[in-house]
Structure 1
């Protein structure tokens, strides 16, 4: 908008005048999509259509709209499937570490009725090893490499005997 509506002037005539002057200056010429049909008119009307269009246009899933604690709980829920394709224990621990840092950040700043607890990296690694050993042919209970260069699993000091 180039100028403010003068007081006492009919709004509709002022708007029409602004549009006409912009057309005369050629400001509407060569706009993207000019001469093309409007998209989405063939789809049925649905509730929150603008939100669905935004998610589709940006390539996002509906999970992006969840509140932070619910999104973190969802990530923790599907974590075992997420790490299933990883190759080393170090990669698995890195993914779990990133999630646990996000959870810790939420616990420091967030409020609300939804609780989010950190994920035990050792449990995830144990499940990852079991899944990997059962699906890969030729693996018979060999300890998986833990990212340190040797095959022994890292034991916590309180679990050593």
Structure 2
């Protein structure tokens, strides 16, 4: 932790003093990119463009930058694509219930500004979709015919 700025000293002077001390200690030696100029910007860049560029550099998914309401909407839309791969109807219902609970919690929190209001996912429609994408049941395998009854030796003699 740094020490406090002495009273009566200008803020800029205090910052310069701290930088000079750090240089004397060697805190800036061996840093990556030292001695090279900062890259030039060819044009003005908005904060949104900067965030997208940062996400590309970090190899992040731009969907991670969505506001909470939009992220919930996107998740509701993507749920229809994920339902056919789910193993059972109970898993589908649990996933939809979890999403709907998070949407309701989002509705309850105070909003800072205009937000995309996500709607609830239709559980019954997603269950019908799950049933519709199930492969048809395999036809029942007929039971093998019983072998013909053998006649007894004493009945054969007649």
TM over 0.5: yes
Shift of 1:74: 2.6
Residues 1-161 of structure 1 mapped to structure 2, 5 A cutoff: 1-4=2-5, 7=8, 14-31=14-31, 33=32, 35=34, 41=39, 46-48=45-47, 49-56=49-56, 57=58, 59-62=60-63, 64-66=65-67, 68-109=68-109, 115-130=117-132, 132-133=133-134, 139-140=135-136, 142=137
Separation (CA, whole Å) in 2 of partners of 1:44 and 1:86: 48
**Contact 1:55-1:62 at 8 Å conserved across structures:** no
Task: Tell me how many residue pairs correspond in the alignment.
Answer: 132
1:14 CA displacement: 4.8
| Cα displacement string for residues 78-110 of structure 1 (whole angstroms, at most 9, x for unaligned residues) | 220132322222222221111111122233445
User: If the length of structure 1 is used for normalisation, what is the TM-score?
Assistant: 0.58
Q: Which of 1 and 2 has greater Rg?
A: 2
Aligned counterpart, 2:154: none
- Which structure has more relative contact order (CA 8 Å, sep 6+)? It is 2
Contact 2:63 2:71 in 1 (8 A): no
Gaps of 5+ in 1: 134-138, 144-161
Paired with 1:76 and 1:104, the residues of 2 have a C-alpha distance of: 13
In structure 2, relative to structure 1, the CA distance for the partners of 1:36 and 1:92 (3 Å cut) is farther
TM-score normalised over the length of structure 2: 0.59
Q: Distance in 2 between matches of 1:14 and 1:110?
A: 40
Supply the distance in 2 between the matched residues of 1:128 and 1:38 (Cα, whole angstroms). Answer: 57
Secondary structure of 1:128's aligned partner: helix
User: 1:47-68 deviations in whole A, cap 9, x for unaligned?
Assistant: 22442245343824245432x3
* CA RMSD after TM alignment: 3.6
